[in-house]
Amino acid sequence: MIEYSSINGFNTPHNTAPFSKIKDEDYLPSFKKAIADAKTEIDNIVENSKAPTFENTIEALDFSGEKLDRISSIFFNLNSAETNETIQKIAQEVSPLLSEFSNDITLNEDLFKRVKAIYDSKDSLKLTTEEQTLLDKKYKGFSRNGANLPEDKKEQLREIDKKLSQLKLKFGENVLAETNKFEMLLTDEADLSGLPEGAKEAAKQLAESKDKEGWLFTLDYPSYIPFVTYADNRELRKKLSLAAGSKGFKNDDLDNQAIVLDIVKLRHERANLLGYKTHAHFVLEERMAETPENVQKFLNEILEKAKPAAGREFTALENFAKDLDNIDQLQKWDGAYYSEKLKQKLFSLDDEKLKPYFKLENVIDGSFKIAEKLFDLHFEEIDIIDKYHEDVLTYKVTDSKGNFVSILYADYFPRPGKRNGAWMTVYKPQYVKDGENSRPHISVVCNFTKPTKTKPSLLTFNEVTTLFHEFGHALHGMLANTTYPSLSGTSVYWDFVELPSQVMENWCYEKEALELFATHYETGEVIPMDLVEKIKESSTFHEGMQTLRQLSFGLLDMSWHASEAPETITSVKSHEANAFENTKLYPDVAENCMSTAFAHIFQGGYSSGYYSYKWAEVLDADAFEYFKEEGVFNKTVADKFKNNVLSQGGTENPMTLYKRFRGAEPKPEALLKRAGLLK
């Protein structure tokens, strides 16, 4: 059983997760006990003989289930970053229990009566803005999850939620299993032609670690990306590309097609049950975009600007590949390869030339220095708290006065038990209770190239921006300063959550910022300014094509979730091809399917929300323009961003917060100008 006290939390430094003391078999009994304890807390709220007040109902509800939240965050974070078969099996067992418990709360009539009584009298309560937001959120949490439904419909909702929680887990497990299953072992050195030395050495080391002779390549990004970008052997690029593009789409026991169709139908059924036309209408009611129509309009407006540029870029790339290698038809496995060659030709900029300046440790240090200059934060690596894997780095974060701000976990390398990609997550949120500001525990997880015998971990420029992106999310979590846990940190509207992450990427292109950390790992030389200029010049290279790609994902998401008749969709592949029609550049690949591995929308929280990456780009381009006008390290602007955006979480409408920082609503022109799509 996991030891946790409702007063002191875990008996550990800073109340951190005691990873080493938790065995896999502890989770299930601990979950059951924590659910039972949380139910008692809910019962106490419901059975309170005093009339409902904001404090004894709304506030009590937000602070209930703390133990369950802590155990859940540890367990599900590990299920993403350090999983195994036992954990996956427990997840399948626990998810329906959690889904049922969540329904027990939102479908509890007596509890809803108390919440509704307060909501109905809110105008006479003299609540603060944050209290009003919390009340509104709690009321909608009930009404949007079936509290107003008749009993038979509530049962239907419970059944749907239980099925959805299991389907989403199975989807993710299949994708991870597919990623881990594929290996491409090369034994002829000629097949490595074009590959950078670092990629070859990493592949050699990976093969050795599995007692194999030769060079081993996998679908993990640090292995996959260099191969499809640099390998001259077109057939092998094709082999790897097909393996990556066909995850969950092989009609075998790891196939996700039926799961996709089931998830989409169940989400639609759920939305209809609650009185919404589609799942997208349900989701977007609680977003800045508000409606599917607004999202479609937004995506199509940018598409209109990006498509001509993308067409020109693609034609130029086709011509370049034809001239260089007599390629008649450019395929998906050619894109990264010829783009990189063309970029080198146009800008004399090769990612391999840049990598020596981006040693992982230096980039981490750079992100910390920038956070110190902007937001007065100090990061100290510590070894007094538990880790869930030896690769994880742990930091104590303090402010300029030495006050404790946050714990930060950083986990940068791929492993078999870790899903691909990069993300930020929370092990403990920030909140204020009994006069004490309880500080957050934040984690950043990435998949970068591991150090080899001869080289440290050297990042591509794209990986540098990825690290800064996730660090931006982390700052949003670390600088949280709200009263209630459910409004803290990144608990904001989904199309606002990417602003802090995407705005941080901008510093990677600034001379003043790069001089702080971009030094050659062997000589210590600061990155030459001509390279910095080339980075800036090339930042809009193929921006039309990149924009089209992002828009295609957003349009695919909306095609699944704004459909009014998803039960009529029988083929995942045909539906997807139809959704991609307007953004298509490369010929279709029969063996590939994006949806069956689109974890963002079928496993993560981005269903009907993938557009938010582009939406947030409008916000971030507009926000960073303000920094550029006043100076990229201007303290006044940084303080306004920290105090009006980063620390406020979801306490107010995001547009209100943004306007308080910027003085006006964001203008899409800033994004189009930065992307070079506006002449």
Domain 13-148, CATH? 1.20.1050.40
Are 482 and 649 a contacting pair, CB within 8 Å?
yes
Residue 494 has a pLDDT of 86
- How much is the pLDDT for 7? 78
Alpha helices in 348-497 (DSSP H): 351-354, 360-375, 461-478
614 contacts 551 by C-beta, under 8 angstroms: yes
Q: Let me know if 69 is exposed, middle or buried by CB neighbors in 10 A (0-12, 13-18, 19+).
A: middle
Domain ranges within the chain, ordered by starting residue: 13-148, 182-245, 356-539
| Residue whose tokens read 């290279």 | 541
Angle at 553 between CA 552 and CA 555, to 5 degrees: 65
Q: Which of 66, 82, 470, 576 is catalytic?
A: 470
Class of domain 356-539: mainly alpha
Active site residue 340: no
Which residues does the chain have with pLDDT short of 50? none
Q: For residues 141, 142, 146 and 149, what is the CA-based torsion angle, rounded to 10 degrees? A: -150
pLDDT tens digits, one per residue of 132-183: 999 999 999 999 989 999 999 999 999 999 999 999 999 999 999 999 999 9
Work out the widest C-alpha separation in the chain, in whole angstroms: 82
pLDDT at 679: 65
User: What pLDDT, on the 0 to 100 scale, is given for residue 446?
Assistant: 97
Q: What does the alpha-carbon distance between residue 565 and residue 268 come to, in Å, rounded to a whole number? A: 8
pTM here is: 0.88
Characterize the bridge pairing of strands 441-445 and 404-411.
Answer: parallel
Q: Shortest CA distance to 383 belongs to which of 375, 393, 391?
A: 393
Read off the DSSP letter of residue 519: B
